[in-house]
Structure formats: C-alpha cells, structure tokens
Amino acid sequence: MTKGDFRNFFLIGSLLNASSLNGQPLLKTSGTDAHSIISSQLFVQASESSTAKDSVVPSPRNAPLREIGPGIFQLGDITIDKHQRTVSFPAVLNLRQGAMEYLLVSSWGKVHESILRTETEPYRIHLAMLLLGAKGAGTNDEETIEVPGPFLSHPANVRVPGDHISIEIRWKTNAKEIRRRAEELVYNVQKKSRLGRGNWIYNGSFMEETTFLAQREGSIISLVTDPEALINSNGVGHDNDTIWIANTNRLPSANVPLQVLIKLSKPSQKRQR
C-alpha cells in the first residue's frame, strides 16, 4: 500500500458517516471533531521491516461499520455495544507456561511472552474504542497530558495515562458460558497472588510519523509499561517483567474460542494521569 493510499483511508469517510446513527453520535468529542481525531491517530502504515500483516489497512468495502441491533455495531470481527460501553472480539489461548509480559497480542506480535493472541487488528480495536468515546493517553480537552514516547524504557516506573477500563474473558465449556476477569488469568510469582484488580488503562498507543505502533508491533494488552500497546496495567508490578506468569488454574482449554470484552468506564470517572 502506498503513502497516497493512506491519505485516502476509508475510515475518514464511510465509518465516520456511521458515527451518528439513530441521530445520536456514537463518537463523542470535546473541542475537536471526530474527523481530526481519527485522521491524526489512524493513518497507519507498517514499516518495510515490520513483521505485521502486509495488508495493514483494508479496502473501503472491507469490514464496514454496520448496526446489527439497537445501539450495537459490527466492525469486522469486533462488536461495539454503545449502551454497555463495550468492545468485544475473538481470541485464543496462546501460552500456558513461561514468563509473560502481555495478556494479549496479535498473531504477529510478541507471541513468545503473551497468554492470549488474536487475529483482530489493533487499529480496528482502537477505532472501536474511539467510537465509544475513549481518549487514550491524549486528550481533546484543554488540559495537556504528556504522553510517553518511544524513548521510554520497557518496562518503566512511569504509569501510562489513559481511560479506566475493565477486561473480561469469556468462553463456553459444555455449553456453559464461563466469564473471568482478565486479572484472574495472570499470576504474580513474587506476591504469590493474581494480578490486582482495577488497574487497566486504555492508553491507545501512539503514532510515530505515519506508523501506528500498536498495529506494527501487534501489542494490545501489556502487563508491564509499554506505551506502544493499546492497553496497560498500572498496578503493582507494572515495572517488573520477571514476575508474571499465566494462572493455569483459571485458563481455558487449548483451542477453545474466546471473547475478549473491554468495558470503558463512565466519563464521570477521573482519567488516570
């Protein structure tokens, strides 16, 4: 795909037309309109040396945003529930053993250190979260948030700013639905306990020139500080990449289809800085 193709990225047109379905905006902004938010964050391009998929951005007729129920929208394999403020997509168990730095990566991401993996592309997850109203590490308000850049070590003591979210993993066993908070799947060998609850932050990765880094790296949910990932854990141990393993007692069986559900907290909840 050429640079010129990215300038005509279909999200600016076809998807944003759907952002006011039913007369109510799906994407709410403050101080900046939706077009500028999407255009500044989602003109993504994989570098020539990247291991990401060759087709980073689909054609205009691929994966259009469509309404499948009242307040429920489909974007490829992603389901967006406007009223529940959730985004969900499929995943599978990736690893049960070994040191982990990620809960979830793309199939071309750091699969050697991630508990789960998905074929869902990071830029589409980011678009879905923007449509729900997430701001990530940036802001559209008058306040200024200093976003960690590529120079930030990985991991680091810095806590990445962003929107508070919760994450749930769902699957079926013998026709019975199992629901687990994402924290239950992660174990801290130093504390001898599960990952602490309530510390997930949607930071939304960032752009480096024309490259959306979460898309290039395939990094989606990180257990340790990684501003290139879409989501970070800011809890105890976010600065230590040697203490995390999979909590095998709470994992699904291999090859069982999973659903990752991300819930955006209500706007009244203070953003973490």
Is-above-0.85 flag for pTM? no
Assess if residue 273 is contained within a domain: no
Q: What is the pLDDT along the chain (273 residues), one digit of tens a residue?
A: 333 333 333 343 334 434 433 334 454 433 334 434 444 444 433 333 334 554 344 433 456 899 999 999 999 999 999 999 999 999 999 999 999 999 999 999 999 999 999 999 999 999 999 999 999 986 333 333 344 454 456 666 788 899 999 999 999 999 999 999 999 999 999 999 999 999 999 999 999 888 999 999 999 999 999 999 999 999 999 999 999 999 999 999 998 999 999 999 987 555 565
Assess if residue 123 is contained within a domain: yes
Assess if residue 269 is contained within a domain: no
- Backbone torsions φ then ψ of 248, nearest 5 degrees: -60, -25
Question: How far apart are the C-alpha atoms of 25 and 32, rounded to whole Å?
Answer: 14
SS3 157: coil
Assess if residue 207 is contained within a domain: yes
* Ordered alpha helix ranges (H), the chain: 3-7, 14-17, 34-41, 122-132, 213-217
- The tally of domains found in the chain comes to 1
197: containing domain: 3-264
Assess if residue 67 is contained within a domain: yes
User: CB–CB of 183/194 below 8 Å?
Assistant: yes
Assess if residue 28 is contained within a domain: yes
Assess if residue 270 is contained within a domain: no
Assess if residue 195 is contained within a domain: yes
